[in-house]
Structure 1
Amino acid sequence: MKMIPKRTIRIAKESDAHTIAVIHVASWQKIYRGHIPDAILDNLSIHEREGKWLALIKNNIRILIIELDSLMVGFASIGPSRDTDTDPTKCGEISAIYFHPDYWRQGLGRKLCNRAFSELEEMGFSEATVWILKENAQARKFYEKMGFKETSDIKADKYDNDVILNEIRYRKKLGNPFSFKPLQESDLQLLCRWFDQPHVKQWWDDKLTHDQIKNKYSERIGNPDIVPFIAYLEDKPIGFIQYYHANKVGKGWWPNEVEGTVGIDQFIGEEDFLNRGYGKQMICAFGHKLFQDPAIKKIILDVDPNNHRAIHCYENAGLRMMGSIDTPDGVAYIMAAYKNQSIEPHHYLLKKPQPDSLLYKTIRSDYFINMLEDNYIYFRRVDTYHDDIRDSDQPDEDKHLSGKSKFENAPNYSGKDYYNDCRARTYACCFSTENTPHLWKHYSGSNNSATCLAFNSSRLIDFLNTRISETLLKNIGAPLSHLFYINYGLVTYGDLNSQFMGELLPTPIQYVYFKDANKYSEEKEFRISLSCHIPMGKIKLTDGSFFNFPESLQISFDFIQAINLHVIEKISFSGKHEEKLKTQISDYLKNKISNIELKRLLA
């Protein structure tokens, strides 16, 4: 299988100047062949250009480097506009984007250009300019696809005294260019025209006549449950997008979604605006608009498994694959985005259980009663497990290697120190993917009395994610998401004494989801982890006290709501007090949930 190279973009360092110069010369010799005499191009000095780029880096000019598997293949230089007719506090400039010719036409230019836009916005610019060789049709087409507009501004640059290069200026407004206007009756004819487009019909064909389309969408105007919009790129209508409350509409599409989740549907209707990155920008802008509503916590959409272009677009817009679902129209992928940024930052590294599979949490019965009555679930710091003192620790070989790795600005602080600090600030709540005798034997406690809760895996993850903004650390009353990221994944089992990762400095979360197969594989563990946003140093709370990372945390969890939403599918008991416990739990719950739910839960 061919491996896809890892693409990274970073700020240039002084040591990069030579490679930048090599790429610059190679690119010029390709681009300007036919515009500048061969004798000049063939004698371009890498050494001379290295000196110029080194001087720019030393002067803190922002130069972005793009790498494939740590190999530099291109760069961009950005900063305030150098033109005298612009305001350098508001207008930025992309003064150079060059790639080594061996890496042209691989989509890297778009990626680097988008990063340049983001950097310019962060620098406070509301507009960007770029000067392009007038005869360079390929470059002009690229920048037009990136949203630049041609101006009438032309300048003649003299190169090497004998060569005149005519350049034309392009401009682009920074920030997302999309706005959304509620669908009106006057938009329905435009909507019909879009539905006739082959690229729309391919994935969105209800086989409706124009009159039926008008009737269908006219009924949605003013509807609070399904809210349609026309998407405008600056002043031009180019697409359709709508949101709907997933728990109120759908007719069988979203039976498990709750209040706070909205679905979206969308398409770009104007064919000329396809394959130019506008789909991503439209979804990002619409998602930002939706998340301004405090009641909306999650956005979902469904996509045909064969619509690879749409899937790629949605992933680039920040939605993540959640699995597949059976819909009235057949099997579809479901993708989602959550409002809170503390949710699953490492989801791409972790394996999830099968959708809607059961997870089993077996604990001492007296512990469960305390959790039920006080509404919390229990997390333990991973470096304090008595039965596994190496939980989330580095394998020996990795630890040896990371001990040799030093931080550039902290030479006395090693990679090993960093991993140890991360481990001391990470907590876990553990489940099993199978209800085995091993669980009942090891988690019943000294009184041999245990309770097992069976959770629906998909609903549990979504239940916690959609409530994370309100979830509290009950020990201190602070919001969970102010201090911790939350992740979910199946534990990988292997040999702790080998360098299982195959890389020197993996993400610390990979160790949190790895355990020694020789001792713990019977657990078949699924783990929810909490990792501190800040892996080192002191953390001061709003009341002025310091958070000292206790051995355990109590996280608020509404058991009654979880039961009513079928997050908890079943509760069972074992031990000499089994019937007494069942009666005690039944008495506690009977006035809080329906008899039907109670029978289901304790059957």
Structure 2
Amino acid sequence: MNESESHGHIPAPLGSVEPHAPLLSVPSDGQLLYKISSVENLLRSIVGNYLHFNRVDSYADFPGADPHDGRQLPKDQQGNSLARFEKSPDFSAANYYDQSRARTYACCFSLENSDFIWKNYANGSEKGKVGVVFEFGRLRTMLNQTLQPGNAALKYNGNQCDQIFSVNYGIVEYVDWDTHQANVDHLQNPIRYTYLKDKERFSEEKELRISLSAMGIGQFALKDGSMMQFPSSLQLAFDFKAAIADGAIQQILYASDSDSDFLQAELHKLRIVSSKG
């Protein structure tokens, strides 16, 4: 393995659209996706025109969160630690996976409108919770257009930077976390760990996730010489009104105890009017 690219100053690699698609499983374009959100967070996202992405190593702020999200498997750890970079023998594949994980973000959906997702997500809201129903193919097209190389830019601490995040889509694979080994034949691309979760604890999620990931080698330097830090969350530009008009958003479902009158009134102020039913 060779890590020579991490030394010296070279231009940061630009993000790309679905570079790891052959490694991941995706549903058909017409597949519906369900995202549970608090009423308050949905309104913030609509007003701010963004989809919220969490860094995968920071899911620890709610009951049932996965502290191992995106982490290399326990059975892979030893082999990954023994694999070293030729020109940086103190930097192992395990270090590379850990650094990649700290630069990877996810936005999560469910393939099923299940009791499980309504019970376990977006709890503690004063106004209740809603479920936004997306169509996968149209959502994918919208985001890919936004993130096409040359079309997108990254804002960091008020600075406009090159867009360094690659977008991928995939259905999460649920495995026996303690016994499954992925690196038996060869080292894994770090994106694979982003789409593996513990079967016993999380299989009921039926998760489809969208990931944004930056290269896990080297550091990203700004023009002033300071190093870019990766915050615990990102906001990806997303026009909810355009998504509704295009059909990327199909419905907004209400929990029985949510304040639907409040949400309808706020949506009306935003010129989003519900249809009957």
1:513 and 2:191 equivalent? no
Contact 1:471 1:556 in 2 (8 A): no
Q: Which residue is equivalent to 1:491?
A: 172
Match of 1:247 in 2: none
> Which one of the candidate residues 47, 66, 88 is aligned to 1:373?
47
The Cα of 1:364 is off from its aligned counterpart by 1.5
Say if 2:152 is the partner of 1:464: no
1:357 to 25, 31, 40: 31
Amino acid at match of 2:55: R
1:21 aligned residue? none
Q: Cα–Cα, structure 1 residues 471 and 405, in superposed 2: closer, same or farther, change >3 Å?
A: same
1:399 aligned to 2:81?
no
Alignment of 1:477-556 (within 5 A): 482-501=163-182, 502-532=184-214, 534-542=215-223, 545-556=226-237
After alignment, is 351-360 or 454-463 more displaced?
351-360
Supply the distance in 2 between the matched residues of 1:427 and 1:341 (Cα, whole angstroms).
13
Equivalent position amino acid for 1:528 in 2: I
- State the Cα distance separating 1:440 from its structure 2 match: 1.2
Instruction: Give, in angstroms, the shift of residue 566 of structure 1.
Output: 0.8
Q: Distance in 2 between matches of 1:529 and 1:368?
A: 20
Task: Structure 1 unaligned segments of length 5 or more: list them.
Answer: 1-339
Q: Over residues 390-443 of structure 1, what are the superposed CA-to-partner deviations in whole Å (9 max), with x where a residue is unaligned?
A: 111111110111111111111111111111111111110100000111111111
Q: Please state how far the C-alpha of 1:484 moved relative to its aligned partner.
A: 0.6
Structure 1 residue aligned with 2:4: none
C-alpha change, 1:572 and 1:480, in structure 2 (3 Å) is farther
Does structure 1 residue 454 correspond to structure 2 residue 128?
Answer: no
Q: Does 1:442 align with 2:87?
A: no
Aligned-residue identity in percent: 37
Provide the rounded CA distance (Å) in 2 between the counterparts of 1:491 and 1:579: 32
Q: Name the counterpart of 1:416.
A: 94
Partner amino acid, structure 2, of 1:599: S
Cα deviation, 1:232-276, whole Å, max 9, x if unaligned, reads: xxxxxxxxxxxxxxxxxxxxxxxxxxxxxxxxxxxxxxxxxxxxx
Cα distance in 1 for partners of 2:262, 2:155 equals: 26
Q: Which residue of structure 1 aligns with residue 103 of structure 2?
A: 425
Q: Secondary structure at the match of 1:599?
A: coil
Provide the C-alpha distance between the structure 1 equivalents of 2:57 and 2:185, rounded to a whole number of angstroms.
23
Match of 1:599 in 2: 275
1:87-124 C-alpha deviation (Å, 9 max, x unpaired): xxxxxxxxxxxxxxxxxxxxxxxxxxxxxxxxxxxxxx
RMSD: 2.2
1:471/1:555 contact within 8 Å kept? no
Q: Which amino acid aligns with 2:166?
A: Y
Residue in 2 aligned with 1:97? none
| Higher fraction of strand | 1
Shift of the 476–526 alpha-carbon distance from structure 1 to 2, 3 Å rule, reads farther
> Cα distance 1:342–1:481, how it changes in 2: closer, same or farther (>3 A)?
farther
Give the conservation status (yes or no) of the 8 Å contact 1:474–1:556. no
CA distance in 2, matches of 1:407, 1:500: 22
Distance in 1, Cα, partners of 2:262 & 2:161: 31
Q: Partner letter of residue 236 of structure 2? A: I
Rounded Cα–Cα distance in structure 1 between residues aligned with 2:171 and 2:158: 29
SS at match of 1:548: coil
Whether contact under 8 Å (2:130, 2:258) holds in the other structure is no
Within 2, Cα distance between the matches of 1:451 and 1:480? Answer: 35
Q: One-letter code of the match for 2:197?
A: K
Q: Distance in 1 between matches of 2:37 and 2:181?
A: 31
* Structure 2: runs of 5+ lacking an equivalent: 1-13
Deviations along 1:12-31, whole A, 9 cap, x unmatched? xxxxxxxxxxxxxxxxxxxx
Q: 1:461 to 1:542 in 2, by over 3 A?
A: farther
The 8 Å contact of residues 58 and 232 in structure 2, kept in 1 or not, is answered as yes
Mapped partners of 2:261, 2:161: distance in 1 = 35
- Say if 1:398 and 1:504, in contact at 8 Å, map to a contact too: no
Other structure's SS at 2:252 match: strand
**Aligned in 2, Cα 1:519/1:478: closer, same or farther, shift over 3 Å?**
farther
Contact 1:362 1:443 in 2 (8 A): yes
Amino acid in the other structure paired with 1:526: L
- Within 5 A, what are the aligned runs for 1:322-337? none
Counterpart AA for 2:42: F
The structure showing larger relative contact order (alpha-carbon pairs under 8 Å, at least 6 residues apart) is 2
- How many aligned positions are there? 256
Seen in structure 2, the aligned counterparts of structure 1 residues 475 and 453 have a Cα distance that, compared at 3 Å, is farther
**What is the DSSP-based 3-state SS (H/G/I as helix, E as strand, rest coil) of the residue aligned with 1:549?**
coil
Distance 1:500 1:588, change over 3 A: farther
2:82 is paired with a residue of what secondary structure?
coil
- Alpha-carbon shift at residue 538 of structure 1 (Å): 2.2
- TM-superposed deviation, 1:463: 0.6
Indicate the residue corresponding to 1:584 in structure 2.
265
Task: Give, in whole Å, the separation in 2 of the partners of 1:368 and 1:563.
Answer: 14
The Cα of 1:486 is off from its aligned counterpart by 0.5
Shift of 1:543: 6.3
- SS of the aligned residue for 2:22 comes to helix
Note the alpha carbon deviations across 1:472-502, whole angstroms, 9 max, x for none. 5566466787211100010000111124323
Q: For residues 486 and 535 of structure 1, what CA distance do their matches in structure 2 show?
A: 15
**Counterpart in 1 of 2:250?**
569
Q: Secondary structure at the match of 1:403?
A: helix
Contact 1:401–1:504, Cα closer than 8 Å, also in 2: no
